[in-house]
Amino acid sequence: MRGTQGGGRGPGLSPVDRRTLLFCNFILAVAWGRVNFTGDQVLRVLAKNEKQLSLLRDLERQKPQKVDFWRGPARPSLPVDMRVPFSELPSVKAYLKSHGLAYSVMIKDIQVLLDEERDAMAKSRRLERSTNSFSYSSYHTLDEIYSWIDSFVAEHSNLVSKINIGKSFENRSILVLKFSTGGPNRTAIWIDTGIHSREWITHATGIWISQKIVNAYGKDHVLKKILNTMDIFIEIVTNPDGFAFTHSMNRLWRKNKSSQPGIVCIGVDLNRNWKTGFGGNGSTKNPCSETYRGPAPESEPEVAAIVDFITSHGNFKAMISIHSYSQMVMYPYGHSLEPVPNHEELFDLANDAVKALYKVHGIQYIFGSISTTLYSASGITVDWAYDSGIKYAFSFELRDTGQYGFLLPASQIVPTAEETWMALRTIMKHTLNHPY
Amino acid sequence: MQPRRPPLPALLLSLWLLPRLALAAAAAAPADPEYNDVPGQPPAVGLPRGILQLAARAALHFFNYRAGSPSALRVLAAVQEGRAWVDPQKGCKVDLVFSTEQYNLEQEGEEHLGKCSARVFFKNEKPRPAINVTCTQLFDKVTRQEKDYLLYKQMKQLKTPLDIVSIPDSHGHIDPSLRPLWDLAFLGSSYVMWEKTTQFLHYYLVQLSSVKQLKTDDDSIDFDFTVLLHEFSTQEIIPCRIHLVWYPGKPLKVNYHCQELQSPEEGSGIVEGSAMAPNEFSNF
């Protein structure tokens, strides 16, 4: 049933033809919720000739009112739709039968349909409300984020599109936002947040940065230059199953939710499941451990999806994987102390990124290679990225340094995102200016 | 709790120090016949990365525990000077100078930094490092006693049984009325975190996950609760049951039991840890 929105014109406004008046009354009645349509049906009648049409018109003129036309009798061969109140159904159907008028039931119970539609509208209003007034300074659920993604893409479709790169272990969609001003297979920058589900500040930062990109594109000449040459891809919820779990059952869950037969513990550390350095000291084979590497490299669908996407794209030049906490900007390797060939360039770039970050709110980040700055970690995202030829591979650890840790207060979302953006922008600018 | 910027010179020094650990260790140190310097060796062989910060935090856990004052808790601001030695037979020794700031930044108080110097000794991967630490006075003694007593009174006014779920909540929020509970839990956890720290393992307090019992009818506060600790190098979350008894100005009495990591064979996860037998009122 359509057209229940919008105020009708009230009764007493004439001259309007009766049909319109009835229709408007109907709308008003619905809007005011005063009438119950339980059991009422809409019948569709096909009149074969003028005689049958006039029989239908007769039905309408009877008192008490037996039918109310939604699509009135006009010409033979055009269907006539009429609402029949529940109490009148037997007599109306008998009338139609006795005059050889064939009919079908279009709507079996109007009230059911009305209820369903009301619910659907309320739901979409709720979702709409949460995107029109989507709070960038709050933490959100998976549904809220996915709903925001759809609205965000719709609002900025000239610049942003959504790509589904695969399904998680529990069959959730894995979504990536693409920021592009056109051009086939441009060089690209990858940013992921939320690979460890308890690091909520990272998803929130990814969302804020997405909004920042669309807002700043016209005003920031550096960003404009970047997007005129390169595409930016952002995967906000890199571990959707884990993220859902942090809301439903365990706020401090880190891994994904994959399980293996016969093994009690579930979950693989998605940042130990990558091919480069897989199985080294900085991961474990204990499925109950937080740094469990998984049964094999890329065994996890969440990792495989990214590997497939980036490999088949073939033109990524920078990859930044965002975590919390510790306040660090780091480059490969994590699995080895051996410096990468361009470690001096990466050192300088990390230094510049950290300085740009510091300028925003005075927050100190330290920097260096992962293995020398943080700890030994094997089978990690950025090591794979680097060995796949992506020279500018960085791993961030956002705020704080342990006071709140993973439970960073929402009031710190925007300041954290603002400073992180400046660090990312520094890296993206360097990538743009150093094509390879 | 808003983060702050420490004075710039300290910032530069600590930034310089941390990624260049090996150099700091190689700086001319008095030749101590018992300990070997580790000049030019990669950190993994001798010094664990981040050892200076780790040692500073351990020293502060110990300091906070000994001070026994939930309204005078300190956290690490920055390491200013540091030197570490490793003797493969004996252990790891760290000398440090570092700045601190007060933990409860919402509290009124001057926003200045304290300064501590410490010697921390890790006996070969064993927990419970030996610590000597002295700090400049950050809080005025009288003010501190008043605040402790105020906290004590706030605790006694809490209606028990408490209907606590988690502090902070999932969004990092701590209800101001429950802040005393959190500070006292942090104090008790400081003892636990000091005891569990080794040169490779260090801890942060994540959450007060439940309150088993809070008895305030006697003079002292008798507080039985569980916390979640985050061990950084393994990324594990460790639940610890803690029982403490506190009265303002008196030494803190703590005992605790932490859950150990599940192994693939043991499904239940209730494993008696090796060094984690409950400690009876471990004051000395």
Over residues A325-363, the pLDDT tens digits come to 999 999 999 999 999 999 999 999 999 999 999 999 999
Which of A88, A298, A397, A419 is the catalytic position? A397
What is the DSSP pairing of strand A328-331 with strand A366-369? parallel
Rounded to 10°, the helix A142-155/A200-216 angle is 10
- Measured between beta carbons, the chain B residues lying within 8 angstroms of A290 are 234-237
Residue A54: per-residue pLDDT: 86
Coil, helix or strand for B91? strand
DSSP B132: E
pLDDT at A122 over 80: no
What's phi and psi for B214, nearest 5 deg? Answer: -135, 110
d(CA B130, CA B197): 11
Least CB–CB distance from A265: residue in B18, B43, B262: B262
Which one of A325, A335, A360, A406 would you mutate to disrupt binding with B, by most B Cβ within 10 Å of its Cβ?
Answer: A406
Q: Give mean pLDDT, residues A292-314.
A: 98
Partners of residue A401 in chain B, C-beta under 8 Å: 76
Q: Give the closest-approach CA distance of B218 to chain A in angstroms.
A: 32
Per-residue pLDDT at B50 exceeds 80: yes
How far is residue A379's CA from residue A276's CA, in Å, rounded to a whole number?
Answer: 5
Nearest to B15 among A254, A290, A366 (CB): A366
Residue B76's CB is within 10 A of a number of other CB atoms, namely: 18
pLDDT of residue A28: 62
Per residue in A54-81, pLDDT (tens digit) is 888 888 777 667 788 777 787 777 778 8
Distance separating the N- and C-terminal Cα atoms of chain A: 59
The strand order across the sheet containing B91-102 reads: B74-87, B91-102, B114-122, B130-135
Cα separation of A223 and A232, whole Å? 11
Of the pLDDT bands very low, low, confident and very high (cuts 50, 70, 90), residue B15 is very low
Rounded Cα gap, residues B42 and B38, in angstroms: 9
Helix (H, G, I), strand (E, B), or coil: what is residue B75? strand
Residues ≥6 apart with Cβ < 8 Å to A187: A229, A230, A231, A315, A316, A317, A435
A299 has which bridge partners? none
Going by pLDDT thresholds of 50, 70 and 90, the confidence category of residue A9 is very low
Q: Tell me the pLDDT tens digit for each residue of B185-224.
A: 999 999 999 999 999 999 999 999 999 888 887 889 999 9
Within 8 A of A251 by CB-CB distance, chain B residues are 166, 170, 207
A154-166 burial string, b = 16+ CB within 10 Å, else e? Answer: eebeebbebeebb
Cβ proximity of B273 and B266 under 8 Å: no
* Model confidence at A269: pLDDT above 90: yes
Assign residue A209 a region: left if phi > 0, alpha if psi is -120 to 50, beta otherwise? alpha
Q: Which amino acid is at B32?
A: D
Among A64-78, A116-130, A421-435, top mean pLDDT goes to: A421-435
Task: Quickly count: other Cβ atoms within 10 Å of residue B173's Cβ.
Answer: 14
For residue B152, which phi and psi values (nearest 5 degrees)? -55, -45
Pairwise CB contact (< 8 Å): A246 & B166: no
Task: Note whether B173 contacts A410, CB cutoff 8 Å.
Answer: yes
Chain B residues whose beta carbon lies within 8 Å of the beta carbon of residue A337? 42-44
pLDDT at A377: 97
- How many Å lie between the alpha carbon of A300 and the closest alpha carbon of chain B? 19
Alpha carbon of A283: minimum distance to chain B alpha carbons (Å):
9
Q: Taking a C-beta distance cutoff of 8 angstroms, is the pair A284, A270 a contact?
A: no
Contact B207 A407 (CB under 8 A): yes
**C-alpha–C-alpha distance, residues B220 and A410, integer Å:** 35
What is d(CA A51, CA B183) in angstroms, rounded to the nearest whole number?
88
How are beta strands A316-324 and A392-398 bridged, if at all?
A: parallel
Contacts with B237 from chain A: Cβ below 8 Å: 252, 290
Confidence of residue A103 (pLDDT cuts 50, 70, 90): confident
Which residue bears the tokens 């979409």? A124
The three-class DSSP label of residue B239 is strand
- Contact assignment for A289 to B236 by CB distance below 8 Å: yes
Express each pLDDT in B134-165 by its tens digit.
Answer: 999 877 888 889 999 999 999 988 877 777 77
Question: What's the longest Cα–Cα distance across chain B?
Answer: 59
Task: Give a three-class secondary structure readout of chain A.
Answer: CCCCCCCCCCCCCCCCCHHHHHHHHHHHHHHHCCCCCCCCEEEEEECCCHHHHHHHHHHHHCCCCCCEEEECCCCCCCEEEEEECHHHHHHHHHHHHHCCCCEEEEECCHHHHHHHHHHHHHHHHHHHHHHHCCCCCCCCCHHHHHHHHHHHHHHCCCCEEEEEEEECCCCCEEEEEEECCCCCCCEEEEEEECCCCCCHHHHHHHHHHHHHHHHHCCCCHHHHHHHHHEEEEEECCCCHHHHHHHHHCCCCCCCCCCCCCCCCCCCCCHHHCCCCCCCCCCCECCCCCCCECCCCCCCCHHHHHHHHHHHHHCCEEEEEEEEECCCEEEECCCCCCCCCCCHHHHHHHHHHHHHHHHHHHCCCCEEEEHHHHCCCCCCCHHHHHHHCCCCEEEEEEECCCCCCCCCCCHHHHHHHHHHHHHHHHHHHHHHHHCCC
| The predicted structure's pLDDT at residue A57 | 84
Distance of CA A331 to the CA centre of its chain: 29
Active site residue A128: no
Per-residue tokens: B221: 């506060």
CA distances from B283 to A309, B187, B225, B280 (A): 58, 14, 20, 9
Question: Inter-chain contact A263–B267, Cβ cutoff 8 Å?
Answer: no
Q: What angle do CA A428, A432, A435 make, to 5 degrees?
A: 130
CB contact under 8 Å between B1 and A403, yes or no, is: yes
- Give residue-wise pLDDT tens across range B73-117: 999 999 999 999 988 888 999 999 999 998 876 666 556 789 999
Q: Which residues of B touch A (CB under 8 A)?
A: 1, 3-6, 11, 14-15, 18-19, 21, 42-44, 49-50, 57, 75-76, 78, 103, 166, 168-173, 204, 206-207, 228, 230, 232-237, 261-264, 267, 269
Residue A318 has pLDDT above 90, yes or no: yes
Asked if B49 and A138 come within 8 Å (Cβ–Cβ), the reply is no
The shortest C-alpha distance from B219 to chain A (Å) reads 31
Amino acid residing at B259: Q
**Residue position matching structure tokens 């003892």:** B191
Cα atoms in the Cβ-side hemisphere of radius 13 Å centred on A362: 8
Strand ranges inside B88-193, DSSP E: 91-102, 114-122, 130-135
Cβ contact B206–A406 (<8 Å): yes
Chain-chain contact of B42 with A337 (C-beta, under 8 angstroms): yes
pTM (two decimals): 0.75
* Residue showing tokens 């925007």: A414
Supply the pLDDT for residue A26: 62
Integer Cα distance of B70 and B176 in angstroms: 15
